[in-house]
Structure 1
Amino acid sequence: MMENIEKKFDAEQVIEDFEVITKNVGRIQEETLGKILQQNGGTEYLKQWGMNGRTDVETFKACVPIVCHSDLDPYIQRIVDGDISPILTGKPVQAISLSSGTTQGKPKFVPFNDELMNSAMQTFKTSFAFRNREFPIEKGKAMHFFYSSKQFKTKGGLAASTGTTNVFTSPQYKKIMKDWSTPVCSPGEVIFAPDFKQSLYCHLLSGLIFRDEVQVVSSTFAHSIVHAFRTFEQVWEELVVDIREGVLSSRVTVPSIRLVMSKLLKPDPELAETIYSKCSSLSNWRNLLLSINIDKNTEKYLQLAVEAASKHLVDKKLEVMDFTSHVNVSADPGHYVISWELSGEATDEILQECCDCLDKTFLDAGYVSSRKVNAIGALELRIVKRGTFHKILDHFVGLGGTVSQFKTPRCVGPTNSSLIQILSSNVVKSYSSTAFF
């Protein structure tokens, strides 16, 4: 059912195709699996499991085991190092995509070829078609917080970069954007800037310049929008100066960005005064941000517990700016640790109430029963310094990721020692729950 990406974009047809294939998901999944097995039946990986060219679901289930990325890593590493034989895919691997690295503390290599590009394009088309049907952009602009990253060559000569970079630099994506005829606020040079902080600053500046035309604000992940709003809170006064004087801040040093932004930026004292007046009267934005700063449904219990506990902060006009969790297995019994970054100072009494509330409202059945018999120890709430989660973001970007791919990991795995070290070294207060005593 994959739409030919060379055809003229037809939003209604994309929606119709999507509705058709989602009415009988089981059949479509089996057909898709069959096509994958047919295209890749000659690969080393499938041959070793005795598929022998068969493409039915039953044989696949019986022969091929369930695996995770670490099981496939030796095969992928051979591809990265230059082995061009059909190891995992029948079609040649043309590039390597890097994951965000938020799961295990370092990016994972993912083979990237035409099939993945087509799937990515179909995803972009489908999301755009549905969104534009409900929220059409009419004589306006889209404000996309999109970012690219640097590419590098692997030992085997393959170009490696984040998945979004592979997509944004592709001819297919550029053709789609042209077909959509959707003007965006930021010039392309901003998206492909080598420094994401400078890129974000110019995204914000572009959005303010075209403030009357912005009809859509979007990003690959919700966290990028959250991060953009937080950054705006920190730099809005500098943006006001840029707009008032018509001169780009010295913080932007990339020549290509300075050149293109200078063409957009003109002195506008009236707009500068409007922004200054509105922003100086705002004291808190983060109740909304917390509600969208999550992207994994499997972590719903943690999200609900944090939302419930943070209500204890409302009377003091305090908010949870960001949070994450990990398991402390060095103690006996082990226990959960939840780290909060707050917008201000809270009393020990209030934070103890928050800690107890977190423990009581974490409604996973296995957790509750284990807490009652002390198989899991008392939940620990740690308050970290302001800026700790920015350090985590900087850490992942330093590993080769981009802001547009970054998601604050809500549950940090025990092997992610770098992230746990960042959290541990920035703790200012710690509380243990008394909820089950």
Structure 2
Amino acid sequence: MLPKFDPTDQKACLSLLEDVTTNVKQIQDSVLEAILSRNARTEYLSGFLNGQVDKQSFKKNLPVVTYEDIRPYIDRIANGEPSDLICDRPISVLLTSSGTSGGVPKLIPLTTDELEQRISFASLYRPLLYKYVEGIRERKSFMLYFVTRESETASGILVRTMITCVLKSLKPSNSFIWDQTQISPHGISTCSDTTQSMYCQLLCGLLQRDNVGRLGAPFASSFLKIIKFLEDHWPEFCSNIRTGRLSDWITDPQCVSGIGKFLTAPDPELASLIEQECSQTSWEAIVKRLWPKAKCIEAIVTGTMAQYIPLLEFYSGGLPVISTFYGSSECFIGLNLNPLSKPSDVSYTIIPCMAYFEFLEVGKDYQETGHDPAEKPVVVDLVDVKIGHDYEPVVTTFAGLYRYRLGDVLRVTGFYNNAPQFHFVGRQKVVLSIDMDKTYEEDLLKAVTNAKLLLEPHDLMLMDFTSRVDSSSFPGHYVLYWELGSKVKDAKLELDPNVLEECCFTIEESLDAVYRKGRKNDKNIGPLEIKVVKSGAFEELMNLFLSRGSSVSQYKTPRSVTNEEAVKILESNVVSEFLSRKTPSWELHELYSNR
């Protein structure tokens, strides 16, 4: 686990990062030893190890598992059985995942000790920003977070999202530090009414615009949703600032109390300035124009978030976009030690104290490699990964997950000291398949990225997208739902059928040879279709998932949808449809090189 350190001591934090990335093998061995010795008597471990807690017995006897394998134990704990089924410490919280990657939220065990470790891990990042981003420590952070309403299991264990857990677990002393370093008061950020919270956090940011040193949200998608909210509500913000009076619909006591510290008197000059910027015909560089002293935007822009980079760049006005760290509900894993790297070049350095890490190698077709399918998969230790190879992380945590597959695909890009650095490729998940074709998340994202370049000359932007397979007719075909926006404010969308049909074809040309062969020769796959949906369709889709326990802070648009309700929402918002009019090419040698 991370040694204790003072997060306000920049030199100590940077020194700690050097130490833990240098002594990787020793730390990993000690982490595994600590986990096994602590939890040896749990029902789960004792059933496999029979009291033998050495590394060799662990690797030989413990299976590599998925969530479905461990779920029966978690369900038993949720229903009242003791935590020592899997962990020697009490499970204080069950974290709920976003539920948008696999369709159904998972419940991940968390102990109080593990939560404190994650908070410490996150606080390691501030010194890196101070080191690389000049002048950032002179002003406050304007990071927008949102909590969701929590629930309890039958046995009384809290069920929360990770962000809700962190925000609501802050001790009074930490809440005081929060209010000293953050633009928006802690009370507003913990308001369970997301709309009121978002409104008041933005109002705080506008009232203190000259004191914002950095701003952002957990994910690029959530930051863009905040910009859209600002676009919809800026006249109301200006009215509040001009009159010095908060809108009547803001009734939450925490929000009213928090905003009252800043909205103390009419400020017509500031209101006019904001009105001048927001009423321009284009919102290009709106972030820089509204917050002129900001030095950067913080938001995760790797993996599926990469598609939002052009939109962030459009709104940011040249501010660097920083992806801070890589983690999940199961485990916090790595930090971006080069904050100012281009979003497309971001690599995360694994912090070896956070868990015991192993890696299952996957080939370019995302199949497990190096083992007979009838045998247990071969996994390698953290220090044994190879540059240029793709792996799925397998984690063993202090909170009761053992050799647990995360489902992500990471590519090794190098080493920092002795710690591997990984580029996040995507989820190890087939998102679309009709016949022999298998289109993975990474493939789909690359294909869409190529196609949306055709929109640029027409001042159009792809705001969001998802996909599904339509098997209602033969042959089945891929359907992509696109929400488009204009670079010119309030401009009517003029969709040129030739451009959208060319986008369909470009996507098909960008997919692999198996797909293209199915389209051309076998005729087992029909022409790809793009359905353009109304503005706001993806907000409706998000609201569906929020109603099922996800949160604005953690929500990620699913890259494929199978849920009938989700499909119904998208279909009800379709305004135009376009089909690929040409057949993509393929060569025989490509087919074999892809296998």
Q: TM-score higher than 0.5 here? A: yes
* Pair 1:432-2:579 in alignment: yes
Q: Give the drift of 1:386.
A: 1.4
Query: What amino acid maps onto 1:4 in structure 2?
Result: K
CA distance in 2, matches of 1:330, 1:39: 54
The alignment partner of 1:309 has SS state of helix
Q: Give the drift of 1:27.
A: 5.0
Of 508, 514, 528 in structure 2, the residue corresponding to residue 359 of structure 1 is 508
Query: What amino acid maps onto 2:215 in structure 1?
Result: V
Tell me the alpha carbon deviations over residues 152-191 of structure 1, each in whole angstroms, 9 at most, x when there is no partner: 222101122211111112246x655656885211122210
CA distance in 2, matches of 1:11, 1:376: 57
Query: What amino acid maps onto 1:68 in structure 2?
Result: T
* Pair 1:407-2:556 in alignment: yes
CA distance in 2, matches of 1:181, 1:188: 6
Query: What amino acid maps onto 2:535 in structure 1?
Result: R
The alignment partner of 1:22 has SS state of helix
Tell me the alpha carbon deviations over residues 203-252 of structure 1, each in whole angstroms, 9 at most, x when there is no partner: 11111100011001132222221111111111111111111111112332
CA distance in 1, matches of 2:565, 2:145: 26
Of 466, 474, 481 in structure 2, the residue corresponding to residue 339 of structure 1 is 481
C-alpha change, 1:54 and 1:421, in structure 2 (3 Å) is farther
* Pair 1:234-2:376 in alignment: no
Query: What amino acid maps onto 1:297 in structure 2?
Result: V
Q: Which residue of 2 aligns with 1:80?
A: 78
Contact 1:151-1:161 at 8 Å conserved across structures: yes
Q: Give the drift of 1:15.
A: 2.4
The alignment partner of 1:409 has SS state of coil
Q: Which residue of 2 aligns with 1:119?
A: 117
* Pair 1:316-2:458 in alignment: yes
Of 194, 197, 200 in structure 2, the residue corresponding to residue 196 of structure 1 is 194
Query: What amino acid maps onto 1:341 in structure 2?
Result: E
CA distance in 2, matches of 1:317, 1:80: 51
* Pair 1:393-2:542 in alignment: yes
* Pair 1:420-2:567 in alignment: yes
Q: Give the drift of 1:400.
A: 2.4
C-alpha change, 1:179 and 1:432, in structure 2 (3 Å) is same
Q: Give the drift of 1:370.
A: 5.4
Q: Which residue of 2 aligns with 1:280?
A: 279
* Pair 1:306-2:305 in alignment: no
Contact 1:105-1:417 at 8 Å conserved across structures: no
Q: Give the drift of 1:79.
A: 1.0
Contact 1:290-1:320 at 8 Å conserved across structures: no
Of 289, 298, 311 in structure 2, the residue corresponding to residue 289 of structure 1 is 311
The alignment partner of 2:577 has SS state of strand
CA distance in 2, matches of 1:380, 1:236: 36
Counting matched residue pairs gives: 431
Contact 1:198-1:252 at 8 Å conserved across structures: yes
Tell me the alpha carbon deviations over residues 369-425 of structure 1, each in whole angstroms, 9 at most, x when there is no partner: 65555465433222122111101221222122221111222244x4x4433332233
Contact 2:7-2:124 at 8 Å conserved across structures: no
The alignment partner of 2:137 has SS state of coil
Contact 2:83-2:89 at 8 Å conserved across structures: no
Contact 2:465-2:559 at 8 Å conserved across structures: yes
* Pair 1:4-2:15 in alignment: no
CA distance in 1, matches of 2:31, 2:506: 46
Q: Relative to total residues, which structure has the larger helix share, 1 or 2?
A: 1
C-alpha change, 1:373 and 1:42, in structure 2 (3 Å) is farther
Q: Which residue of 2 aligns with 1:59?
A: 57
Contact 1:357-1:435 at 8 Å conserved across structures: no
Contact 1:3-1:122 at 8 Å conserved across structures: no
The alignment partner of 1:403 has SS state of coil
Q: Give the drift of 1:284.
A: 4.2
C-alpha change, 1:365 and 1:199, in structure 2 (3 Å) is farther
C-alpha change, 1:301 and 1:284, in structure 2 (3 Å) is farther
> Which segment is superposed worse, 209-218 or 59-68?
59-68
* CA RMSD, 1 decimal: 2.8
- 1:26-45 correspondence runs (5 A): 27-45=26-44
C-alpha change, 1:116 and 1:424, in structure 2 (3 Å) is farther
Query: What amino acid maps onto 1:352 in structure 2?
Result: E
C-alpha change, 1:67 and 1:420, in structure 2 (3 Å) is farther
C-alpha change, 1:310 and 1:89, in structure 2 (3 Å) is same
The alignment partner of 2:553 has SS state of helix
Unaligned runs of 5+ in 2: 285-307, 314-320, 322-342, 347-423, 427-440, 486-492, 586-595
Query: What amino acid maps onto 1:184 in structure 2?
Result: Q
CA distance in 2, matches of 1:88, 1:274: 57
C-alpha change, 1:418 and 1:33, in structure 2 (3 Å) is farther
Q: Which structure has more RCO (C-alpha within 8 Å, separation ≥ 6)?
A: 1
Query: What amino acid maps onto 2:425 in structure 1?
Result: N
Tell me the alpha carbon deviations over residues 250-293 of structure 1, each in whole angstroms, 9 at most, x when there is no partner: 33221331233133112111111111111111424487426689
Contact 1:38-1:53 at 8 Å conserved across structures: no
The alignment partner of 2:49 has SS state of coil
Contact 2:476-2:525 at 8 Å conserved across structures: yes
Q: Relative to total residues, which structure has the larger strand share, 1 or 2?
A: 2
C-alpha change, 1:180 and 1:161, in structure 2 (3 Å) is closer
- 1:126-275 correspondence runs (5 A): 126-135=124-133, 137-171=136-170, 175=173, 182-265=180-263, 266-275=265-274
Q: Give the drift of 1:300.
A: 4.0
CA distance in 1, matches of 2:220, 2:147: 17
Contact 2:477-2:525 at 8 Å conserved across structures: yes
CA distance in 1, matches of 2:121, 2:83: 29
C-alpha change, 1:418 and 1:270, in structure 2 (3 Å) is same
CA distance in 1, matches of 2:16, 2:548: 39
Query: What amino acid maps onto 2:181 in structure 1?
Result: P
CA distance in 2, matches of 1:268, 1:179: 28
C-alpha change, 1:124 and 1:8, in structure 2 (3 Å) is closer
Query: What amino acid maps onto 2:510 in structure 1?
Result: T
Query: What amino acid maps onto 2:449 in structure 1?
Result: E
Give the TM-score taking structure 2 as reference length: 0.66
Give identity over the alignment, percent.
34
Contact 2:175-2:186 at 8 Å conserved across structures: no
Query: What amino acid maps onto 2:45 in structure 1?
Result: L
Query: What amino acid maps onto 1:289 in structure 2?
Result: L
Query: What amino acid maps onto 1:208 in structure 2?
Result: L
CA distance in 2, matches of 1:282, 1:60: 62
CA distance in 2, matches of 1:128, 1:373: 55
Q: Give the drift of 1:124.
A: 0.7
Contact 2:144-2:201 at 8 Å conserved across structures: yes
Contact 2:188-2:197 at 8 Å conserved across structures: yes
Give the TM-score taking structure 1 as reference length: 0.89
C-alpha change, 1:339 and 1:126, in structure 2 (3 Å) is same
